Amino acid sequence: MVKVKEGSSKSKKPLIVMKFGGTSVGSPERMQGVADILAEHAQHADVVAVVSAMGGVTNMLIRAATQASEGSEEPWKGSRAELARRHREVADQCLSAAEQATVLPRLAEQMKHFEDLCSGFTLLREITPRGMDTMSSLGEVLSATLESGILRSRGLKSETVDATDCIVTDDNFGNASPLFEETRAKTQERLMPLLKDGVIPVVTGFRGATREGVCTTLGRGGSDFSATILGAALDADEVWIWTDVDGVLTADPRLVPEARILPEVSYREAIELSYFGAKVLHPKTILPVMEKKIPVWIKNSFNPSCPGTKIVSAARNGHGGIKAITSVKEAVLITLSGRNTVSFPQLAARVFNSLYIENVSTLMVTQSSADNVLCFAIHQADLARVKAELEKVFELEMLHDYVGVLDVMPKVAIVVTVGENMKGTPGITGRAFGSLGRKGINIIAIAQGSSELSISFAIKSSDMKEAVKAIHEEFEL
């Protein structure tokens, strides 16, 4: 894989950051599988590993913390036993005797930390966001400690690295953003000497720390983001995201069994896809690597010989038009009318400010200026908060009937067709919608941005499967 220049004895090895998700480190066998992959690639590259918590562990930690804060000890003691059992099983099955002597005391220390946190939550009957971040990212500390112990048991050089020593973030606990300059300096200082010594660092995903050193997390599913942050900070040649699917697919295979793996997608297409149904990537993953044009691969740790999907700045695109279809099933469509009294800009400003206050993103937006009507879709789960906020903001206008009733249409699906090649290609929308028309599927609302990267439309949830299939067939994806 590495090209050694003729005559030069010391060619620089490529640097690859490899992230392994929760299912990829979900059991003793899977953790051995990860060690196989790392050992193989460490022969020709400098490798930095980033690991998620073992599958299910993050949810368990959050649940235990919540139960502890409700004042009951029984449930979190149960979680403690389960946590200890799962990690102990890995240590028993995968570590050499010498490594058990090193790693077991560290696991015990972390379990003690878990207990202290739970006792604190019980005592205070509350969880602060910063307390929750330390707690919810403990699983990454446990899995990273074990994975590097497994590598050492095989005679490889490896060290566990806590990402709080590398990734510097703001203090938006629960969904922190990295501060790139500081992160770059700290990451290089911590990881470069290890790589120079031939050590494989195994870094905890998901977590970072503020400038003051307080632990933060990057949002659920944030280990993908950890990997690209580290990749950018180290000027890595590539970032590989190891997961449990073969790559980015043309559609959800549960909806379209014929869905196919895409060999290449562009950064912009990947971002578009990650925001909706395609859960392959944390939405912020691509941002750190975009400017430096570092390629990101999606690979399957359960099927390592499959090449996967390469995400690059400009993807090779086959036949024009739609490349992939993604969808959100549980959405609602909200319509508000300013009537003749509240101007459209005022209506829009107040609605979007409400969404900002509630920290809710829209899935699609449409307007009809003549009628002074604004229509937008959000996740069903955000409805109650948004509705309450809008009713508060427009209370007086609604009382006087200035603003038309908040019309909520439930059970809506948003389907999004994505493809950079749609730009400037006439007739795509016609073909897509024609295929729906022939199936008798009614479109409730449509949106397409001027970037022509995606077309979003709302339909009844019950029509979703058939709609996705129809478009997939029409464009022979």
| Contact between 178 and ligand ASP per CB under 6 A | no
**Helix, strand and coil percent figures for the chain, each rounded to 5:** 45, 20, 35
Smallest gap from Cβ 206 to ligand ASP, in A, equals: 4
Smallest gap from Cβ 351 to ligand ASP, in A, equals: 30
Positive/negative CA dihedral, 261, 325, 311, 192: negative
CA distance 115 to 76: 9
CA distance 6 to 171: 50
Beta bridge partner(s), residue 417: 325, 455
The footprint of ligand ASP on residues 2-41 (CB under 6 A) is: 21-22
Smallest gap from Cβ 277 to ligand ASP, in A, equals: 18
- Choose among Mg ion, ligand ASP, none what residue 308 binds, the Cβ cut-off being 5 to 8 Å by kind: none
Query: Which span sits near ligand ASP by CB under 6 A: 50-58, 71-79, 317-325, 371-379?
Result: 50-58
CA distance 272 to 22: 23
Positive/negative CA dihedral, 70, 75, 81, 83: negative
Smallest gap from Cβ 221 to ligand ASP, in A, equals: 4
Residues lying near Mg ion in the complex (CB under 5 A) are found at 21, 221
- Helices 344-357 & 383-393, crossing angle to 10 degrees? 130
- 470 contacts 438 by C-beta, under 8 angstroms: yes
CA distance 224 to 241: 7
CA distance 96 to 311: 38
Which CB sits closer to ligand ASP, 24 or 69? 24
Pairing relationship of beta strands 200-204 and 46-51 according to DSSP bridges: parallel
Beta bridge partner(s), residue 202: 49, 160
Which CB sits closer to Mg ion, 224 or 269? 224
- Choose among Mg ion, ligand ASP, none what residue 385 binds, the Cβ cut-off being 5 to 8 Å by kind: none
Token pair in block for residue 302: 């359960």
Instruction: Determine which helix (DSSP H) or strand (DSSP E) holds 368, and give its type and residue range.
Output: strand 364-368
Smallest gap from Cβ 170 to Mg ion, in A, equals: 22
Which CB sits closer to Mg ion, 218 or 441? 218
Which CB sits closer to ligand ASP, 52 or 274? 52
- 321 contacts 421 by C-beta, under 8 angstroms: yes
Collect all residues with Cβ–Cβ distance below 8 Å to 78 and sequence separation of at least 6: none
Which CB sits closer to ligand ASP, 130 or 220? 220
- 26 contacts 54 by C-beta, under 8 angstroms: yes
Collect all residues with Cβ–Cβ distance below 8 Å to 379 and sequence separation of at least 6: 328, 330, 331, 332, 360, 363
| Contact between 58 and ligand ASP per CB under 6 A | yes
The footprint of ligand ASP on residues 203-232 (CB under 6 A) is: 205-206, 220-223
Smallest gap from Cβ 217 to ligand ASP, in A, equals: 8
Smallest gap from Cβ 164 to Mg ion, in A, equals: 20
Which CB sits closer to Mg ion, 23 or 456? 23
- Choose among ligand ASP, Mg ion, none what residue 20 binds, the Cβ cut-off being 5 to 8 Å by kind: none
Which CB sits closer to ligand ASP, 178 or 221? 221
CA distance 80 to 72: 14
Burial of 343-358, coded b for 16+ CB within 10 Å and e otherwise, reads: ebeebbebbeebbeeb
What single string gives the DSSP state of each residue in 74-91?
HHHHHHHHHHHHHHHHHH
Smallest gap from Cβ 135 to ligand ASP, in A, equals: 12
Which CB sits closer to Mg ion, 241 or 348? 241
Size of the site for ligand ASP (CB under 6 A): 12
**How is residue 281 annotated by DSSP?**
S
Smallest gap from Cβ 21 to ligand ASP, in A, equals: 6
Which CB sits closer to ligand ASP, 55 or 149? 55
Which CB sits closer to ligand ASP, 379 or 465? 379
Smallest gap from Cβ 91 to Mg ion, in A, equals: 24
Smallest gap from Cβ 23 to Mg ion, in A, equals: 9
Which CB sits closer to Mg ion, 26 or 321? 26
Collect all residues with Cβ–Cβ distance below 8 Å to 429 and sequence separation of at least 6: 448, 455
| Contact between 385 and ligand ASP per CB under 6 A | no
- List residues binding ligand ASP (CB under 6 A): 21-22, 52-53, 58, 139, 205-206, 220-223
